[in-house]
Structure 1
């Protein structure tokens, strides 16, 4: 321990002596003064003209597109129109307008996409069923009074779907009977309930036979050909003629 203290003391003493010697030396150095006569330089008034060429242009002007110019024009117009006092405030208002504009574009795009998809299925989800041909297959029974059954029957027979054509024949029969107030149509009613509502005995008998054909072919999933369909269709047509008579 004593040796270590001795080394530390000697080190501090040595460093202190060096700093003191350096400080004394700096104080005794002579100062040199520059007595040179400095003359201010002057420039000709037209000296800038010598640097007007493209060789001395170091800033590249960025070409602004039409959209940038349009936005700049809008900012000026908004500033003048609302007396905002600064282009910064006009830019804030313009940003709000741009957000609304972009939002409307997105809504329009979504609208047309969804509309195209829904039209592919036959109707537009937010629209009214103004066209009778646009009624969905599963909605025919609940919208019986607005359906063009003649068109549906033609389409089904052209596709050789005679079973479906018989279904349309039956629903068309119910529609005509409801229009002539022979029955009160309700998609929840059964054929037996309709039978009780028919007052004419002959018409009631024809309705029971047509209903039998419909139940046998449609609910029994009985596949029929064209000749069998023509016979069933004749039964429906006879009943329709008697309704109109």
Structure 2
């Protein structure tokens, strides 16, 4: 009647949704969102022991140094803890290094004794500082009689040098030392003890307790005579 097409009137009409409505229940909402993951604010008492410790430390620093505000105290605490970590790390490194040095026995000028245990491979160059008594005791306890005889021989050379009967040199041979000895008795004893040393050490023979005791007696007798 008014000149409006019928198709335009049909497109402007409302569409009714007749699908069933699902009713939602919220009875478990409180329980579902009340776990630890949904607690965004905690008191100091509810925090872990490390957080409580840092808070206690922060409060302590704030009182001791009159720090203004919790923020400054917290920053001061973090710096103090970092310094503490560094100090602990350096101490650990120091004690590890010290243990390695003591184990290797290369701390030649240590304070624990007047004469120190030096490595076997360098013993000939350090006979004047070596603690032969301790070295021999260790070798005997391990039943390493060959090594003990070697220590006795070097101990003898040091004793002869200290008595000014020979002039020790790592490059010298037994014949050189024998030539330097003036006394026939000293030459005879040195010939015998050097023979024992060469036979046992360089011959690489297994030495039993009885054989070692005989060699030990010969070396100790000669060393004591030289000292006397």
Q: Deviations over 1:173-218 (max 9, x none)?
A: 1122233232343444433443344333431343233223212321
Distance 1:89 1:205, change over 3 A: same
Contact 1:140/1:147, CA 8 A, preserved across alignment: yes
Distance 1:179 1:76, change over 3 A: same
Alignment gaps of 5+ in structure 2: 1-38
Distance 1:161 1:78, change over 3 A: closer
Partner of 2:87: 104
Partner of 1:130: 112
Q: 1:92 aligns with which of 50, 56, 75?
A: 75
Structure with the higher helix share, 1 or 2: 1
In angstroms, what is the RMSD of aligned CA positions?
A: 3.8
Give aligned pairs, total. 187
Distance 1:105 1:185, change over 3 A: same
Contact 1:122/1:134, CA 8 A, preserved across alignment: no
Partner of 1:41: none
Contact 2:117/2:135, CA 8 A, preserved across alignment: no
Contact 1:213/1:232, CA 8 A, preserved across alignment: yes
Greater Rg by CA: 1
Deviation at 1:101, TM superposition (A): 0.7
- Inter-partner Cα distance in structure 2 for 1:155 and 1:80: 58
Deviation at 1:170, TM superposition (A): 0.7
- Inter-partner Cα distance in structure 1 for 2:189 and 2:56: 80
Q: 1:232 aligns with which of 212, 215, 218?
A: 215
- Inter-partner Cα distance in structure 2 for 1:140 and 1:162: 17
- Inter-partner Cα distance in structure 2 for 1:207 and 1:237: 12
Distance 1:89 1:127, change over 3 A: farther
Q: 2:177 aligns with which of 194, 211, 216?
A: 194
Normalising by structure 2, report the TM-score.
Answer: 0.60
Alignment gaps of 5+ in structure 1: 1-57
- Inter-partner Cα distance in structure 2 for 1:157 and 1:173: 18
For 2:124, what is the secondary structure of its paired residue? coil
